Amino acid sequence: MLEIQHLAVAYGSRRVIPDLSVAGLREGTVTSLLGPNGSGKSTLLKALAGLTRIAEGRVVLDGEDLTRASFELRARKVVYLPQSLPAAVHLRVFESVLVAANASVAGAGRGEVGIAEVQALLDRLGVGHLAMRFIDELSGGQKQLVGLAQALIRRPRLLLLDEPLSALDLNYQFHVMDLLAQETRENDLITVIVLHDLNIALRHTDHALMIRSGALLAEGSPAQVVTSQTLAAVYGVDGRVEACSRGYLQVVIDGLHRDVA
């Protein structure tokens, strides 16, 4: 279980996250992190990953305070995939995933990851045919999928993904979300994913957190969190959440929300 206890993060004198607590995110579940631009979503993920200094509070994973953990321990248990991937090195796709896997093996209680396991993951992501291509020759969407493969092959306890669908077409968005759900359940991961598409959150995630100005405004199932009330309060739009002909919930936006005095 992941617990966030009175977390505060500041950039200089400005507190981006003033005081945020989440009782517990359970293993085997995918949690969507929702909110408008500038609400603190990326900052929260970086704080959980240990990449941004925490001013106050604790991040507790399975009873262990990650804010006090060594870099090595945190690196074994937590994997963070940013919005913008680092400049691509001149490595083949297969090599990069194999390096990522075996860099995290030491002390993790896993045997060395083999060729078959890497190729199988690339195939499941739909990029097996790119295994021998160089990363710096790939498109933005292809690089994003390779980054996801590098994250998943490490089998972390906590997987943090910052808008991993942003460069993907509709087919790959659906494909990746299905794979993430499967990998999360089968490997007992705790997955937190920043999403802007509320329909994807409603259909493909188990749990949702909605934040604005660094404060948690709603938590629960996606259907409990994404409502006409939160659409107005958080996104400033008038909208509805309705079931389509197949029973899937979807967001319908009617227009901009205007407060009535």
Mean pLDDT of the 168-181 span: 94
Calculate mean pLDDT across residues 164-168.
91
Distance, CA of 161 to CA of 183 (rounded, Å): 14
What does the pLDDT read at residue 107?
Answer: 44
Shared-domain flag, residues 142 and 36: yes
**Does 235 lie in the same domain as 156?**
no
- pLDDT of residue 105 exceeding 80, the answer is no
112-141 pLDDT, tens digit each: 778 899 999 999 999 999 999 999 899 989
User: Looking at the structure, do residues 72 and 151 belong to the same domain, yes or no?
Assistant: yes
CA angle 184, 196, 79 (to 5 degrees): 35
Whether 177 and 239 map to the same domain: the answer is no
Domain shared by 197 and 257, yes or no: no
Same domain, residue pair 40 and 67: yes
Q: At what angle do helices 93-103 and 140-152 cross, to 10 degrees?
A: 30
- Looking at the fold, whether 221 and 231 belong to one and the same domain comes out as no
pLDDT at 261: 46
Say if residue 155 is in the same domain as residue 218. yes
For residue 257, the enclosing domain spans 227-261
Q: Report the pLDDT value the prediction gives residue 242, as an integer from 0 to 100.
A: 97
Total domains in the fold of the chain: 2
CATH number at residue 91: 3.40.50.300
Whether residues 189 and 237 fall in one domain:
no
Task: Answer for the pair 239, 233: CB distance below 8 angstroms, yes or no.
Answer: no
Given a cut of 50, is residue 21 above it in pLDDT?
A: yes
| Contact status, residue 172 vs residue 142, Cβ threshold 8 Å | no
What pLDDT digit, counting tens, does each position of 185-237 carry?
999 999 999 999 999 999 999 999 999 999 999 999 999 999 999 999 999 99
Report pLDDT for 260: 52
How far apart CA 240 and CA 206 sit, in angstroms, is 20
Are 250 and 186 contained in the same domain? Answer: no
Same domain, residue pair 83 and 192? yes
Taking 60 as the threshold, does the pLDDT of residue 54 lie above it? yes
d(Cα 59, Cα 47) in Å, to the nearest integer? 9
The model's pTM: 0.93
